[in-house]
Structures are given as C-alpha cells and as structure tokens.
Structure 1
Amino acid sequence: MMNERMKQRRKELGLTQPAVAKAIGLTKATVSLWESGSTSPKGENLHALAKVLNCTPEYLLYGETAKKPESNAEWAGGFETWDSDSPLGDDEVEIPFYMEVELAAGAGIAEAREYFGPKLRFAKSTLKRQGVNASHAACVKVAGNSMEPVLPHGSTVGVDTSHTEITDGKMYAINHDGMLRVKMLYKLPGGGIRLRSYNTEEWKDENISFEQLKNIKIIGKVFWYSVLI
C-alpha cells in the first residue's frame, strides 16, 4: 500500500512526520493522514514527497524502483518560457513548446523545420545526461487524467523524437488517429503493442494489434516532465 511504503521510506531515512511536512511546506496533520491511508498525495505534492523521500512517484504508488532511476523521464519542477529576444546562457538551449494538444498531435511536432512559437530552455548538460539531441526534442502539454497522479492534466513533457524504438515500460508520446497521447508502451507477440496508463482504475490497458498499428505513430520517448498545479 502507498501509505505503508511512504511510512517505511520515511523511517529508513530517519525522518519524522514534522520534518517531512516542513520540507514540503504542509502541516504534520496532512502527512499523518497520508500515512494512515485516509488521504493520499497527488500532483505537485506527490512529486515533492518523492523528492524528500529520495524515491520516485512510481515507487510510492506501485512499489517500483525505490531509488531514483537514470530513467525514462525526470521531473524538473516548474518552468518558464522565453521569447526570441531573451539571450541564451552558455549552457542553455531552446526547445519548441507546443502548447496546443491538437497542434502537437499533428505533423508539426516531428517534422517542422522552423518553429516561431514559445520555447523552453534546458541546460545542455541535462540533455546530454539523457542522451538527447536538442534538434530532435520538443515539449508538449498532457491533456486528460489517464496518466494521473504522475502526470496531471496540464503537465508538460519533453519528447525525444529520434527515439521511437519501444523499450517496455517507458513513456512515449504517440499520435493515435490525430490525437496526442502519452502512454507507457509494451511490445506484444505478433508485432502489436500495449498502451498503459498510470490511472488504471479509469483507463484499462489497450492492446493494439499489428494490423491496427497503421493508426498509431510513435512521436518519441519522454525524457523529461514538469508538473504545475
């Protein structure tokens, strides 16, 4: 159970409930309710708690990967946009930020040669650590609740459009009949794929046969995400 993992992890680190609450900016009563299972952290609070407990949101939710991975994706907190007149720092690079889901799901995200809309800035060292070439990266917004609580509605993800080969369990942005979706992908026997959401209560696994794959284009692998509430 999530509350039990939370409590165990806190004790492993020698932290008290008041210390955890103070680090997140909440009350001890809130943390106490989380650990009792009466309520559970979501969105920004889930990510903040995972950071304090030196683990991933996935570990708290499902018991997967107790330590921070070198991973599929890393949470990087908030972000800002800049216009073309703002000077770049020595270790900065700009990546297109497609704010409209409809635009992101179309041909533009992967094929556009020129982009004049908003951009996000990344440290070159961050991209290098993830093995991402800035010229093949783009950021898009996530719509809907299928990836909650890890990716709430309105979250932003960074996508490496050069990485379309499926690694089981990793997050990918896909164009599914003209709709942008972010899902965990798994290969299936016979050439099909499985689409999996974090919100499994409302969104069951979708098995896509080899014949149905003509309706899906893998845009790229998610290498970064940011959550604002």
Structure 2
Amino acid sequence: MSKLAQKIKLRMSELGINQQELAELVGLSQVSVHKLVSGKTGSTTKIFEIAKALQCDPSWLVGDEDVPVEINHTKSAAESNANWSGGIETWDDSTPLRDDEVEIPFLNEVELSAGNGAVCSKEYEGPKLRFSKATLRRGNIQQENVVCVNISGNSMEPVMPNRATVGVDTGEKYVVDGDIYAIDHDGLLRIKILQNLPGGGLRLRSFNSDEYPDENYDAESRKLIRIIGRIFWYSVLTFK
C-alpha cells in the first residue's frame, strides 16, 4: 500500500470519516476514494481538497517522510464533552456539617411513582442528603422547600430510571410547560412532564412514551391533580 493511501486511511480513522463522506467533501466518487485508500490509485488531482477535508498539510500527504500531523481539534470528530470536577468525598451521619452545606430530608419510604402511580404513604423524616448552599442559591430554591425521594417504575426511562433519586422544590407549583413535577394524582404520587392544555386542562407526559402514552385531562379532571413541586435535581447510579 502506498504512503498516500496509508496517510489518507490514518486521517480518516482519526477524524471518524468514511469513504462516502470523504468523497462528498472533496467532490469525488466513492469508487475513486476507494481506489485511493486501497492503493489502487497512487495519485490524484484533488490532493488539496483531500488535505483540507482531512485537516492536514498536503505536502505531508504526498511526501515520503512521516511528519507529524497537524490536527485542527476544533473540527475533529472526537471532542471532549465532559469536565473533570474532582473526586467523591464520603460522609456519614457523624461527619460534621460544613458551613456551605445543608441537609435535605430523604424520604426513602415515600416513592414518587414514575409508572402508573404508587399509593401515597405517610411522610416521615428519615435519612438526609447534603446539598451545597450555592447549588440551591443558583436555582433560587429555599432549603425549607426541598425534599428528596426515590422514584419507582420505568415511565421516565432512560433519563430517570427506576430507583433514581430526585430533588423536589415544593415551593414551585406553577406549571411551566415541559418541566418535570412531582404530583399527587387522586392519592397517587407520580413524577411526570407537565404541559398546560387549552381550557385549563393538563397533559402528563413520560420519557418512555412507547410504553406510557400521553395522558390528557380536562379542567374538571385536573382538579384531582395536586402539584407537589418541581423536580430541580436528580441522581442516577448504574451498577454492573
């Protein structure tokens, strides 16, 4: 295989470009690109166009020396989409509360159903989760309005799978279309995406819409739905 073919294959692999995509970028047929990549064709009049598409120096493509490739990272197909925020610090009930922390009730026996609804249980103050005061301030959330609960069911998958933990701001009861809320639906605790309907109705939506289609309620039926609060935070653990 020629060095030209090797270098084209290398850059295509690094950028995640296939033969058809390269052909469209440089104005060649897919057959012509295949011949270049396979080494059946040792030269091309489109070397500058290929170099531009592969984000490298044309002299490197046609040269004999193996010079370093100059990669334009802003256009690379492989880009970072995460920022490292540090490790995890463990704590328990005996760990002193920091000045910048608050404890939020974690109602682990009261589940907001993410399925067809779970029978309401009497709330109790059990374990607690810790939040940064700055986190609550950014959301303009009052500490006394916050509770954390587990959800059950699969209607909010894949975003909020079964047993995910959510933070509920009970001070936010006004329905903003598209936001997620905890609701008391005629005695059932549920978590749903809400949308106002004309005439005072309400639509309940699920992320898993294939199994849980939209539920539409008119103004009269809406009276059976009490808004507990808006979901402002959620946490998911995945285990092998």
For this structure pair, what is the TM-score category when the shorter chain's length is used for normalisation? 0.5 to 0.7
RMSD: 2.9
Choose between structure 1 and 2: higher helix proportion: 1
Q: Is the 8 A contact 1:81 1:120 kept in 2?
A: no
Matched, 1:101 2:110: yes
Question: In the alignment, which residue of structure 1 is the partner of 2:81?
Answer: 53
Question: In the alignment, which residue of structure 1 is the partner of 2:159?
Answer: 150
Q: Is the 8 A contact 1:13 1:53 kept in 2?
A: no
The higher relative CO (CA closer than 8 Å, separation ≥ 6) is in 1
What is the total number of aligned residue pairs between the two structures?
158
Pairing partner for 1:119 from 123, 128, 132: 128
Q: Is the 8 A contact 1:95 1:120 kept in 2?
A: yes
Q: How does 1:168-207 map to 2 (within 5 A)?
A: 168-207=177-216
Normalized against structure 1, the TM-score is what? 0.61
- Unmatched runs of 5 consecutive residues or more in structure 2: 1-15, 18-72, 83-87, 114-118
Q: How does 1:13-24 map to 2 (within 5 A)?
A: 14=76, 16=78
Q: One-letter code of the match for 1:118?
A: P
Greater mean alpha carbon deviation, residues 96-105 or residues 191-200: 96-105
Structure 2 counterpart SS, 1:101: strand
Deviation of 1:156 after TM superposition, in Å, equals 0.6
Are residues 163 and 103 of structure 1, via their aligned partners in 2, closer, same or farther at CA, if it must alter by over 3 Å? closer
Q: Percent identity among equivalent residues?
A: 51
Structure 1 counterpart SS, 2:126: coil
- Unmatched runs of 5 consecutive residues or more in structure 1: 1-6, 21-51, 55-77, 110-114
Q: Give, in whole Å, the separation in 2 of the partners of 1:99 and 1:106.
A: 13
Normalized against structure 2, the TM-score is what? 0.58
Q: Give, in whole Å, the separation in 2 of the partners of 1:141 and 1:12.
A: 40
Q: Is the 8 A contact 1:80 1:120 kept in 2?
A: no
Deviations 1:119-166 (A, max 9, x none): 000000001111111100001111100000000000011000010000
Are residues 143 and 14 of structure 1, via their aligned partners in 2, closer, same or farther at CA, if it must alter by over 3 Å? same
Structure 2 counterpart SS, 1:139: strand
Greater mean alpha carbon deviation, residues 149-158 or residues 95-104: 95-104
Question: In the alignment, which residue of structure 2 is the partner of 1:141?
Answer: 150
Q: One-letter code of the match for 1:14?
A: S
Greater Cα radius of gyration, structure 1 or 2: 2
Question: In the alignment, which residue of structure 2 is the partner of 1:39?
Answer: none
Moved over 6 A (4+): 78-81
